[in-house]
């Protein structure tokens, strides 16, 4: 299991508003991509990127290119839990040839960052937002600072509960876990609490972002 460092952010009202706006924009991209997953049965991150990235960038010009990539990762990650976990009621083995349900991401869904969109130097985090970088002083212990310098960072996640925002830093195992390892949340039967699974008719959904999209096995 990956080691995780969680840090609560000390935000003022203006900063909290900017983070909420980022959450809403990020979830909007995820919801624009979810119908493509439903229709093509493809949630491989690389394949989704090739199918959808250009149109998502055109549809959401206010969100940076790397954040669009992170939204694609978020959809891929959640889809693996919903459609592949053995105990999920929406597992492909249970659905068979029936249409996939669609994932709907709530406005307060987590936002995924990477080293391009969030960096740490001298205990201060520099985070991408819709209107420029936001900086926070992090309360890091000596051990945490060493981890940021030397350990491989797999995921950075911004989540909120009420008015409190938390950054979670997920580090790779000492033996070097693969970058695309199964999400930690998939170790349980619980579906992501920020995702609503809807049993709707795919024919009523908007057309795929790109016609002729490949139909890939999970």
Taking the domains of the chain in order of start, what are their residue ranges?
3-174+190-204
CA 147 vs CA 94, 154, 169: distances in Å: 41, 12, 10
Question: In this predicted structure, what is the pLDDT of residue 140?
Answer: 80
Q: What's 194's DSSP letter?
A: T
Residues 6+ apart with CB under 8 A from 156: 112, 113, 114, 118, 167, 168, 169, 170
Rounded Cα distance between 60 and 71, Å, is 12
Residue with tokens 């307060």, as numbered in its chain = 108
12 by Cβ neighbours in 10 Å (0-12 / 13-18 / 19+) ranks as exposed
Question: In this predicted structure, what is the pLDDT of residue 69?
Answer: 97
Rounded Cα distance between 30 and 204, Å, is 18
SS3 at position 167: strand
Helices and strands in the chain: count of H runs, count of E runs: 5, 9
Question: In this predicted structure, what is the pLDDT of residue 188?
Answer: 45
Question: In this predicted structure, what is the pLDDT of residue 207?
Answer: 43
- Alpha carbon 6 to chain centroid distance? 17
Question: In this predicted structure, what is the pLDDT of residue 193?
Answer: 87
Q: Please give the average pLDDT of every successive group of 10 residues along the chain, which has 218 residues.
A: 80 94 97 96 96 97 95 96 90 87 95 92 90 89 77 91 92 58 45 84 43 30
Phi, psi of 106, rounded to the nearest 5 degrees:
-70, 155
């Amino acid at each position: 299991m990956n080691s995780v460092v969680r840090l609560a952010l000390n935000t003022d009202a203006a900063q909290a508003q900017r983070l909420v706006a980022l959450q809403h924009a990020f979830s909007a991209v995820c919801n624009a991509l979810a119908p493509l997953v439903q229709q093509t049965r493809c949630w491989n991150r690389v394949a989704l990127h090739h199918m959808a990235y250009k149109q998502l960038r055109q549809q959401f010009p206010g969100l940076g290119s790397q954040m669009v990539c992170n939204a694609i990762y978020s959809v891929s990650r959640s889809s693996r839990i919903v459609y592949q976990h053995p105990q999920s009621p929406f597992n492909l083995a249970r659905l068979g040839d029936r249409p996939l349900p669609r994932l709907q991401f709530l406005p307060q869904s987590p936002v995924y960052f990477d080293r391009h969109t969030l960096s740490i130097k001298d205990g201060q985090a520099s985070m991408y937002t819709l209107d420029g970088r936001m900086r926070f002083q992090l309360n890091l212990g000596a051990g945490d600072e060493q981890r940021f310098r030397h350990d491989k960072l797999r995921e950075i996640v911004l989540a909120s509960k009420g008015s409190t925002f938390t950054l979670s830093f997920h580090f790779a195992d000492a033996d070097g876990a693969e970058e695309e390892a199964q999400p930690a949340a998939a170790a349980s039967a619980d579906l992501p609490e920020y995702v609503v699974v809807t049993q709707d008719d795919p024919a009523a959904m908007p057309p795929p972002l790109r016609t002729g999209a490949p139909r890939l096995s999970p």
